[in-house]
Structure 1
Amino acid sequence: ARCFFHTETEVTPMGKYQKNIEAARRITVMQYLETYHPGELVRKTDREYCTRTHDSLIITPANGFFHWFSRNVGGNNAIDYLTKVEGMDFVSAVRLLNEMAPVAASFQPAKAAPVKPHEPRPFTLPTPDRNVEAVAAYLMHRGISPKVLRYCVGSGILYQTTRGNYRNCVFVGKDEGGVPRSAFQRGCQGTYRGDVTGSQKKYGFLMQAENPDCDTVELYEAPIDAMSGATLRQYTDIGKWRSVHYLALGGLNYLPIDYFLQQHPQVKNVVLCFDRDEPGLRFAETVTKRLAERGCNVEKRLPAVGKDYNESLIWYKSKIEKQRGERV
């Protein structure tokens, strides 16, 4: 599920996107934390900081270095911190740091050309097709129930678009006013996937609970996993699948959690439904500590089978179909 969220034009170590990577590498750990998680910083001495989540993670602002002694890992920039501490993949880390407001570079080469201020690219949704036939066929092949599919299409958080000769799913993230602010495309054929240009990553793919006072949210890495979780609940708890919120983060990304909880202060129960792999498990530990500090009740619920919830759903459906065949 994690490969779901790459940039529309993927960042690579070489070529035209090298400037994006270099800009991200110039952002220090302190600059990143002061921008996104100022409450995490704890001063240990006049020269050192640690974080509330990891007291063995020491940051030295004078040289930009950090070292996480309990894991014996470290680095000297925000990319290192995001990938080694928060478990974010490299592409997502570069994209997130490029979305930050311009910050002073940690060094300035002699006679360097003036750096133009970073200007976020405008966000525009891809043009929708007149129907969702290809999207429906693709997602139902992935095990998603027609009921969950209809809800997403009807809510305007899922539609179909055409790119060249290919049909794509478009998963939409909206703000508190219902205005689209982010979107991710997944090809119905082939392997194409990528964020729509200008997407703001704090707006996740959200399937709202039927009751606006609902106090529980389930967190997933990708939209298809969130839809899979909803489908599993529909099949195993008939009639009650909309009893909770389902939020897809777009990878190992904490920003949508912060935003969602700000907009839903009544939510106190959080279920972590991340992938069953090392980055997913490590991210779950980080999220658990942060949410506990906010007074949330946190439950970790790994997929019953396979790496992610879509694999678990496909296994569950094949099991049910096999049992039905044996009865016949």
Structure 2
Amino acid sequence: YCTREHDSLKISNGKWMWWSRGFGGNSALDYLIKVKGMQFMDAMKILTKEGTDLHDTDAKISRKPDCDVKRKLLLPDKSETNFEVIRYLTSRGIDSDVIKACIDEGLLYESLPYHNCIFVGFDETGNAAYAFYRATTGERLMGEAAGSDKRYSFRIDRAGSTLHVFESAIDLLSYATIMKMRTDEWRAEPMLSLGGVYAPSTNNKQTKLPIALQNMTQNQTQINTIALHLDNDFAGRSATRSISEQLGNKYIVRDEPPAYGKDCNDYLQQLQRQKRKRQMER
């Protein structure tokens, strides 16, 4: 679901995400505080008092929504080892050298107490500003750490002129692995994960660019080409069209979805299956 006011604010199973602003929440209380800009006690009164019209509260709000307030990133604790992270990511087909490089650069670590993958993004001053967690158990458990600033979503910064864009950190690492399989060089060009995309409105020009992409193109002036490796589904194809229309007059925009499956990880695993089959047939 989405709201009439904000086409990029998506609601599903009690959770919501305001994609254009880069934050979300898990409850109606979160929504009232972060989107409507209400104080905690005022929000609680709305939720506990039957018959109160939410629209009547807008005129009483004097405080700006939290999107204008700098939020403190709450990073999960680090494990002393990265065994579970390495095991999980290699089981997804990602190259161990790619994983190790990300760990060494502080972009990836294993958390405590749940041993999740933590993908970290840094701001211009070198401080951690974003973190995305993903379970290593096979469960589809994932999300952003509290206080994450989506402008700095997980990425690999390099000086190349072509920016490669992905929906998720797993897709980014999968593409890096594919590049390593083909040329043994995967760190020549910058790569950015958006932390997810949403299907934009019918008027693409009124839909905001993903905030991480907007921030990176503003700060890395050497970029002249954007290669979009978004998913082969409705949201991914729609987001690709929207981004292409908005940036096509400023950059060379290439639509390069995975050649197989839904996403880059599906494509990577298919390439690896084909490689194993060829080796067995020799």
| TM-score between both structures, scaled by the size of structure 1 | 0.67
Return the offset for 1:250: 0.3
Match of 1:144 in 2: 94
**Residue 116 of structure 1, CA deviation:** 6.3
What is the distance in 1 between the residues matched to 2:94 and 2:55?
A: 52
CA root-mean-square deviation: 2.8
Amino acid of the structure 1 residue aligned with 2:167: E
- Residue 201 of structure 1 is matched in structure 2 by 150
The aligned residue for residue 59 of structure 1 is none
1:177: Cα distance to partner? 1.9
SS at match of 2:261: coil
Name the SS of the counterpart of 1:92 in structure 2: strand
Indicate conservation of the 8 Å contact 2:244/2:253, yes or no.
Answer: yes
1:35-114 correspondence to structure 2 within 5 Å: 76-78=4-6, 81-82=7-8, 91-93=16-18, 96=23, 102=37, 108-109=55-56
Distance 1:326 1:183, change over 3 A: same
Aligned equivalent of 1:300: 255
Contact 2:122 2:129 (8 Å CA) reproduced: yes
Distance in 1, matches of 2:224 and 2:78, equals 36
1:215-294 aligned within 5 A: 215-238=161-184, 240-252=185-197, 254-293=210-249
Partner of 1:170: 118
Count of aligned pairs between the two proteins: 240
Where in structure 1 are there 5+ consecutive unaligned residues?
1-12, 14-20, 26-75
Which one of the candidate residues 280, 304, 314 is aligned to 2:269?
A: 314
- The 1:108–1:307 alpha-carbon spacing in structure 2 relative to 1, beyond 3 Å, is closer
Letter in 2 for 1:173: G
CA contact (8 A) 2:37 2:61 kept: no
Q: CA–CA distance in 2 between the matches of 1:313 and 1:322?
A: 14
Structure 2 counterpart of 1:18: none
8 A contact 2:37–2:63 mirrored in 1: no
Which is worse superposed, 94-103 or 174-183?
94-103
CA distance in 2, matches of 1:313, 1:111: 49
User: What is the rounded CA distance, in whole Å, between the counterparts of 2:264 and 2:35 in structure 1?
Assistant: 31
1:96 Cα deviation (Å)? Answer: 3.7
Which runs of 5 or more residues in structure 2 are unaligned?
25-30, 39-53, 198-208
Query: Structure 1: which amino acid aligns with 2:266?
Result: E
The 3 A distance-change label for structure 1 pair 114 and 309 is closer
User: Which structure is higher in RCO with an 8 Å CA cutoff and minimum separation 6?
Assistant: 1
Task: Spell out, residue by residue over 1:56-91, the C-alpha distance to the aligned partner (whole angstroms, 9 max, x if none).
Answer: xxxxxxxxxxxxxxxxxxxx311xx226xxxx6763
Give aligned-pair identity as a percent. Answer: 27
- Per-residue CA deviations over 1:141-188 (Å, capped at 9, x if unaligned) read 00000111111111111000023xx31000011111221111010010
> What are the Cα deviations for residues 241-271 of structure 1, in whole angstroms up to 9, with x where unaligned?
1121110010017100011011101101100
Task: Indicate the residue corresponding to 1:51 in structure 2.
Answer: none
Aligned-partner Cα distance in 1 for 2:213–2:188: 19
Letter paired with 1:236:
R
What CA distance in whole angstroms lies between the structure 1 residues aligned with 2:243 and 2:273? 33
Question: 1:176, 1:110 → 2: CA distance?
Answer: 38
Q: Structure 1 residues 298, 101: closer, same or farther in 2, change over 3 A?
A: farther
Q: Which amino acid aligns with 2:17?
A: S
- CA 101–246 in structure 1, closer or farther in 2 if over 3 Å, else same: farther
Question: Which amino acid in 2 is paired with 1:229?
Answer: Y
Query: Does the CA contact (< 8 Å) of 2:36 and 2:58 recur in 1?
Result: no
